[in-house]
Structure 1
């Protein structure tokens, strides 16, 4: 039984069903892929590892550049062609993976919500269902009662505006307007895309309205409000008969809250481990899920959590000073060599740590060595 019909839950179901086991996916919303919380950025290599070759309807376009702006308006542009990042329709991606899962034998039901765990399985809003294992893929909502300090409010509007350029992502830092996070613009084509913002202790709707009113000349097509998790993975992915995956397990990147690949691999690893456990009934087979995910992403996420702590400590003046230290060589190195899915290296370079710049040393103190190790 899998609760949550998003990327992680559907990939988990695909893996289990592919080994010949019975699996039911329940999704509380009326449609797989709705509402579309995600910005929709993912690397082609990440999708390939997830076992997804995007359909034409899923693939929007390649991202060619990312413009990063500081509070005082200074900016630099990273050429992202080598990283092969694409903007996809999350609605269509989820449906594509749902189709894979269904072809393998999984059953999917929408408008069906998880209520509670019972002695023999779970109870939904419709019925009691017996199951050997319960997979929690319900997203950030599962974390709200565990640790609210890891949650930020976010808003993302889908808009039409002639200032959105196809292939160009924008990221805007301002610790006064978007404390502990940033604002973003992600194109889904020429003149259309998603504009979003997250931050600690701000009214995200008002903040996003201010961003759009400053830019002007836009029409809003859809508004989405959703919490994001930025504190990294939870301690235990397996608790008794419950297996926790995706955003519910904190598998979204602490730096950006993006998680198509990292959460998706959580679903894949969990599905593989569950399949082995159902064959062997050995607990150690089930525990391979967390071991595999941690071996792959654990160190990167630890560094991203450190980078996030740094971001939460610095003010606009410091950000402006750091932007002044970014050289064309640093930008070129990030453009040519860095990895979208493992991007701590980029953060180290942008913070000026690689060159041991005094501003960064004073700012971060003893955390430098941890980030560089």
Structure 2
């Protein structure tokens, strides 16, 4: 049976209780808007398929102070490996932390609710129609809600439904093992096993962490089991999560009429790492503020352009650089990775350790490539694209 909630119409409905969706809800509710969040899962913050790595500076920009419940761990160094080489980068100056995404998302939900937003879980959206200047959003079970604006924060699934490519499989296990170092992130490049991406270990404490893999056309379960075997027992797998990730950068336009996309649904995840807590979170904040302004000005949709303009002004150039660096990453084989890593000097590592910005890491990645041997290697690999490589590298 279908039930239309005429008496509970909203200024805005957010599809998806993700980081970006909840930040949008917080911003709109704080401006006095009547807001409803519809989350398909039974609990905010699940499934926890994100690595949860973010800078303290990024959290502050999002208006979040890490609490004991949301703070898992502090990262002091990163070990980056290829088949036959490895480097260590001091991460102390970057002030990188690992957060508990389940608790973190609930903290944002609490902020949104405190400002008046309504949040419903176990509410899968099965249909959206726009009629007579109202969105009619139908959830599983037949209930229909009405709103003036709709915010799509339903993640990568939105891009899949649009038929877009550049989505790759990933898997992440929560693991207890004595060989997980509390303050050290590991990144492993292996073009044969993880083509176009990498494997990772993100510690959440002493002897526990998140171990994941991603890559084009891979079997995440097989590769994760294989990876764990190479590390050796003892270890225990506490949780398994599989999810597609988007690696092709932002997808414009961010809005169409009063239908606004944020976070993963707008491609606001880094093309190199697929991280999006900060970039997607700011997308939600900018969108929420723009929608509130639009509503206050008689639902004038031109104000929604403020959202796209602000996000692109802050992240657009960085994402363009990261997309360029991704093109290089996808062309490297294991021999090339080894060669590049063997050419990285102690001085370069010191520069990266002292000046790196976790939230804008294209400069650090450029340092890895800025050697004569590496540039000659890229010339051999990429042929006619080489001149453009030199030109683009000079802009980073």
Please indicate, yes or no, whether the TM-score normalized by the shorter chain is above 0.5: yes
Distance 2:329 2:108 in 1: 35
The CA distance in 1 between the partners of 2:280 and 2:340, in whole Å, is 31
SS in structure 1 of the partner of residue 68 of structure 2: coil
Which of 326, 329, 338 aligns to 1:320? It is 338
Choose which of 302, 312, 316 in structure 2 pairs with 1:284: 302
The reply on whether 1:201 has 2:217 as its aligned counterpart is yes
Does 2:151 match 1:135? yes
Q: Is the 8 A contact 1:353 1:360 kept in 2?
A: no
Residue 389 of structure 2: aligned partner: 367
Alignment partner, residue 125 of structure 1: 140
SS in 1 for 2:241: strand
Pair 1:299-2:314 in alignment: no
Cα contact 1:66–1:77 (8 A) shared by 2: yes
Shift of 1:202: 1.2
Aligned residue for 1:334, secondary structure, equals: helix
> What residue in structure 1 maps to residue 8 of structure 2?
none
1:237 to 254, 269, 279: 254
Per-residue deviation at 1:356? 7.3
- Residue 143 of structure 1 aligns to a residue whose secondary structure is helix
Unaligned ranges ≥5, structure 1 = none
Identify the match of residue 39 of structure 1 among 39, 44, 51: 51
Deviations 1:312-361, CA, capped at 9 Å, x for gaps: 11111111110111000111111110100000001111123599742244
Distance 2:391 2:156 in 1: 31
Of the three residues 58, 70, 81, the one matched with 2:70 is 58
For residues 354 and 8 of structure 1, the distance between their equivalents in structure 2, rounded to whole angstroms, comes to: 41
**Deviations, residues 232-271 of structure 1 (Å, cap 9, x unaligned):** 0112100122100000100000000000000000000000
Q: Which residue of 2 aligns with 1:251?
A: 268
- Say which of 82, 95, 98 aligns to 1:87: 98
Instruction: Provide, for residues 27-68 of structure 1, a one-character-per-residue CA deviation record: whole Å limited to 9, x for no partner.
Output: 000000011010010000000000000111001121000000
Contact 1:158 1:194 in 2 (8 A): yes
Map of 1:262 onto structure 2: 279
Larger Rg: 2
SS of 2:69's equivalent in the other structure is coil
Correspondence 1:12 to 2:24? yes
Shift of 1:147: 4.1
The question of whether the paired residues in 2 share the 8 Å contact of 1:82 and 1:335 is answered with yes
5+ residue gaps, structure 2: 1-12
Question: C-alpha separation between the residues in 2 aligned to 1:6 and 1:354?
Answer: 44
Alignment of 1:321-360 (within 5 A): 321-352=339-370, 357-360=375-378
TM-score, normalised via structure 1 length = 0.97
Q: Is the 8 A contact 1:353 1:361 kept in 2?
A: no
Paired with 2:191 and 2:82, the residues of 1 have a C-alpha distance of 10
1:194 & 1:15 partners in 2: Cα distance?
A: 31
C-alpha deviation, 1:162, in angstroms: 0.6
State the distance in 2 between where 1:320 and 1:117 align. 50
Aligned residues: 372
Matched position secondary structure for 2:148: coil
User: In 1, Cα distance between the equivalents of 2:252 and 2:373?
Assistant: 34
Partner of 1:115 in structure 2?
A: 126
Partner-residue secondary structure (3-state), 1:95: helix
Distance in 2 (alpha carbons) for counterparts of 1:179 and 1:132: 43
